[in-house]
Amino acid sequence: MNIKDVIRSYRVVPVVVFNSIDEVRPKLQAMLGGGLPIAEITYRTACAGEAIRIAVSEFKDLYVGAGTVINAEQAEQAVGYGAKFIVSPGFSTAVAAVCRAAGVPYLGGCATPTEIMTAIDSGCDVIKFFPATVYGGLPAMKALAAAFPQITFLPTGGISDKNLAEYLAWDKIFAVGGSWMMKGTPEEIKTKCAQALAIAKSVK
C-alpha cells in the first residue's frame, strides 16, 4: 500500500510540532498508542529535521511526512531522512520538483484557482487547503471542486473534533490535517488520537 492509500484509509493526518528533541519519542508513542500511525512533522522549529530522522529510524510502524516545507532545501533534507510525503502551506514548484524526482507525494497548499492549476501542471491531484476555515471551509472547496473535478483536498487549519465529521462526509476530502490531537500530555494525546480515529471511522 502506498502512502497516499495509507493516508486515505485513516483520513486523519496529525500535524506535529516539536519544540525539542525530548518531545519526539513520548509524543509519537502516544500517537501510535491512539491508533494513528501517520505524522506530519512540521518545519516550524529548528529540530524538525532531527525529529524526522528519529521518527523514521526508530518508529518502523509510523508513516512519517514533513510539513510546513517551504523550499527545496527543506524538501531535500526531509526526503533524505526518509520522509514519505511532503506538505506545504502554499504551493512551491521547486518543492514539487524535488518530490517528483524522489517519487514522494507532494501535497502543496492551494487556495485559489490559479494555484490549483499550477499544482495540476506539476502533476498533483491532492492539494492542501490552508487555512481551511479562514478561506471559506467546505463551501469554498466545493466551489473550487466544480472547476477541478480531478482534485481532492487535505484541509487543515481551524479543524477539530467538533467539525471533523462534517468535513470527512464530503467525498472530495482526501483526509483532514490538524494539530488538536497532538496537544497535552502523552496520555491526552493518546486519547485525542483515538477519538479522532473513531470519528473518522464513523463517517461513511
Q: Give dist(CA 120, CA 113) in Å, integer.
A: 10
Q: Which of 27, 128, 190, 192 is catalytic?
A: 128
Q: Which stretches of the chain drop beneath a pLDDT of 70? A: none
Residue 192, C-alpha cell as written in the block:
485525542
Domain spans in the chain, listed from the N-terminal domain onward? 3-106+159-202
Q: pLDDT at position 204, please? A: 78
Half-sphere exposure (Cβ direction) of 143: Cα atoms closer than 13 Å:
9
Look at residue 194 in the predicted model and tell me its pLDDT. Answer: 98
Predicted local confidence at residue 49, as pLDDT: 97
Strand, helix or coil for residue 69: coil
The verdict on whether 40 is a catalytic residue reads yes
Q: Does domain 3-106+159-202 have CATH number 3.40.50.1360?
A: no
pLDDT, tens digit, for every residue of 139-166? 999 999 999 999 999 999 999 999 999 9
CA distance 78 to 72: 10
| Model confidence pLDDT, tens digit, residues 133-145 | 999 999 999 999 9
183 belongs to the catalytic site? no
**Residue 116: predicted pLDDT:** 98
Check if the beta carbon of residue 107 is closer than 8 Å to that of residue 88.
yes
Residue of 27, 40, 190, 192 with catalytic role: 40
What's the pLDDT score for residue 60? Answer: 96
Global pTM exceeds 0.95: yes
